[in-house]
């Protein structure tokens, strides 16, 4: 296929997955070789192996970082530090675009940033909602309570067992703020679903911390 024809066909797509565009009579290896050649010439941008975008001047849509995060490693949803920052629960912008997935833990780096995916079991893959990004594409992101619980889940071993010290860490080390966006009853109910005593104890201390804000 000529690149001019390829561009005409796919310029209105936000992303181009290689496995979905195999022309009839073309071998997968021949397609990979062609895409790699166009990538070397700068005509295609690569997010990860097998997933491309047209160059900035050739594509009609510039997908958001949030949309890219969802699409690079599905199934996944934005959570942890990125979602906490999105909801204003921590003051800093997240250094990485952090997500939760049922697949193995993975990190991708490209021109859009660093994308980190943390593995959870399938029975913990819940608590997210779909929001439109600036292009109107649906983006999956954790609800505030689940973003916090995911964060506690992955940091629970480092939290002190003493309640007072745990609450100090929430305030001083993690610098949680704006906790009024959280629903306490929902937070407590969702914590039970993790069936983890360390997380349950830490969540109880966080709810006490909320009461002192």
| pLDDT tens track for 95-140 | 999 999 999 999 999 999 999 999 999 999 999 999 999 999 999 9
- Token pair, residue 175, equals 């610098």
- Token pair, residue 172, equals 């001083």
Ordered strands of the 51-54 beta sheet:
16-17, 51-54, 44-48
- Contacts for 132 with CB less than 8 Å, ≥ 6 apart: 138, 139
Specify the pLDDT at position 47. Answer: 95
Check pLDDT > 90 for residue 195: yes
Comparison of pLDDT for 84 and 28, the residue scoring more:
84
**Least confident among 48-57, 85-94, 143-152, 154-163:** 154-163
Going from N- to C-terminal start, the domains of the chain cover 3-54, 65-211
Distance between CA atoms of 209 and 211, rounded to whole angstroms? 5
- Contacts for 28 with CB less than 8 Å, ≥ 6 apart: 22
Specify the pLDDT at position 24. Answer: 74
Check pLDDT > 80 for residue 213: no
Check pLDDT > 90 for residue 55: yes
Residue pair 143/86 in contact by the 8 Å Cβ criterion: no
Average model confidence (pLDDT) for the chain? 94
Specify the pLDDT at position 163. Answer: 79
- Token pair, residue 32, equals 């990979």
Overall fold of domain 3-54: Arc Repressor Mutant, subunit A (1.10.10)
pTM for the whole structure: 0.94
């Amino acid at each position: 296929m000529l690149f001019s024809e390829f561009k005409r066909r796919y310029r209105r797509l936000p992303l181009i997955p290689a496995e979905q565009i195999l022309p009839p009579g073309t071998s997968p290896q021949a397609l990979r070789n062609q895409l790699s050649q166009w990538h070397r010439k700068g005509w295609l941008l690569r997010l990860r192996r097998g997933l491309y975008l047209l160059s900035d001047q050739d594509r009609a849509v510039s997908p958001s970082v949030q949309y890219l995060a969802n699409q690079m490693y599905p199934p996944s949803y934005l959570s942890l530090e990125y979602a906490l920052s999105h909801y204003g629960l921590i003051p800093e912008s997240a250094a990485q675009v952090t997500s939760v997935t049922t697949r193995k833990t993975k990190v991708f780096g490209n021109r859009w940033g660093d994308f980190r995916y943390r593995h959870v079991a399938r029975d913990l893959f819940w608590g997210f909602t779909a929001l439109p990004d600036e292009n109107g594409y649906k983006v999956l992101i954790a609800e505030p309570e689940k973003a916090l619980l995911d964060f506690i889940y992955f940091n629970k071993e480092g939290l002190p067992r003493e309640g007072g010290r745990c609450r100090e860490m929430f305030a001083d080390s993690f610098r949680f703020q704006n906790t009024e966006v959280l629903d306490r009853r929902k937070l407590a109910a969702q914590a039970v679903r993790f069936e983890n005593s360390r997380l349950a104890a830490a969540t109880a201390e966080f709810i006490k911390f909320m009461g002192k804000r």
